[in-house]
Amino acid sequence: MTSRRIFLKSGAMAMLSVGFAPSFLGRAAAAAGARRKLLIAIFQRGAVDGLNMIVPHGEADYYRLRPTIAIPRPGRDAMGAAIDLDGFFGLHPSLAPLHDVYAKRQLAVVHAVATPYRDRSHFDGQDLLENGTETPHAAHDGWLNRALGLIGGSQTLGLAVGQSVPLILRGQAAVTSWSPVKLPEVSAEFLDRVADLYRNDPVFAPALAMGLGDQALVDKVSDAPGMEGGGVKMNMLQRGAGLVKTVTTTVGKLLADPAGPRVAVIDVPGWDTHANQGTAAGRLAPVLAGLADGLVGLQQSMAPVWNRTVVLTLTEFGRTAHPNGTGGTDHGTATAAFVMGGAVNGGRVIAKWPGLSNAQLYQSRDLAPTADTRSICKAILRDHLHLPPDAIDRVVFPESVKVRPLEGLVIA
């Protein structure tokens, strides 16, 4: 028997977690035939090491700084060598599935990038990245929710993947959430009783009815490996290549459906590599492999709409240039970001490279930032979602007029 999961929308948070199912069905008419531009943000929560994700193999100081955890140069017949991109930068070997995407000019990398945050607290760094200001805890809503508010319309445009809605999607614009965790079966009789109990409630009754009716959309797309009735057998906190792909395949199908959302946020944890970070093996490699498989899964599941899609990776900060005493890296500053999709002007690494000599490191320990994360986000909002530049500066990222969008990043 197919399990039934209810997804209920509100301004920011789901109202009931009997289970979740996106509340989109019945509003397809508003989106049918429209060439909807789609955006997926993947949050590498925990601070990814950009220097080993996108390897500056042409930088001699990289190998001086990291004698035990540096990824070998391409073409050295070494186990786990970097995969060259442009003669200077290369992919971590676990990201090999992305090389073809890069070669097709559908993947761009922005290196030496950071938010305005310059301290090293996960909680504050994540809060600032999500609230879109220059100060942790300065806003109680997220920049991506404010962007959805500028799009407007009656359709629920945002989807959060997880047990709760992250700050980046909280706010006045209605969003929905889907939990990729197998939940206990809920009987039809129980749901009928709940519906009867709240039939006169002006808020809960319509939301419940919408969630029950819209389960068909999740059932329709939940045929990916590992999916049963819209639930993933594995917990998102587990590691392993293939886990993220299971989730992204379903999310991609949801966004590709004409009745689906236009924007999704997927949390991918596991990037806090304080110990045993490793090179081709260790803590970082399997998480990168999972990310690569997940990104390829999105490309495959969104094939019909891939030319209208941008996928952006975000993380709160990078990691130290020097390894620590336990074979890992500590909290740093600048890192690297992926911008991928059929609407991306890719096939290049975008970097004003600061260098890795001792004098060039930020505070003598970190990759120095030369690009602002908001410049990437602004370019996508302006050139892909076609939001007004002045509203992006005032509403989405307040008091950020000096941060200009990265030109030519996406195909407008």
pLDDT tens digits for range 325-368: 999 999 999 999 999 999 999 999 999 999 999 999 999 999 99
**How far lies 31's CA from each of 34, 90, 150, 233, in Å?**
5, 40, 17, 31
Q: Model confidence at 79, in pLDDT bands (50, 70, 90)? A: confident
Is the pLDDT at 324 greater than 60? The verdict is yes
CA distance 153 to 173: 10
299 near 101, Cβ under 8 Å? yes
End-to-end CA distance of the chain: 45
Is the pLDDT at 232 greater than 80? The verdict is no
Q: Model confidence at 245, in pLDDT bands (50, 70, 90)? A: confident
Residues 6 or more apart from 120 whose CB is under 8 A from it?
Answer: 317, 330, 331, 332
* Stronger pLDDT, 182 or 157, i.e. the higher one: 157
pLDDT (0 to 100) of residue 412:
78
**How far lies 52's CA from each of 13, 128, 210, 351, in Å?**
36, 24, 45, 15
Rg of the chain (C-alpha set): 21
**Taking residues 369-385, what's their average pLDDT?**
98
Rounded to two decimals, the pTM is: 0.83
**Taking residues 234-258, what's their average pLDDT?**
73
CA distance 96 to 89: 14
Is the pLDDT at 221 greater than 90? The verdict is no
Closest Cα to residue 287, out of 319, 337, 241? 241
Q: List beta partners, residue 109.
A: 338, 349
Q: Where are the alpha helices (DSSP H) in 274-324?
A: 284-301
Per cent of the chain over pLDDT 70 is 76
Residue carrying the six token digits 């998102």: 236
Is the pLDDT at 400 greater than 60? The verdict is yes
Question: Helix or strand or coil: residue 150?
Answer: helix
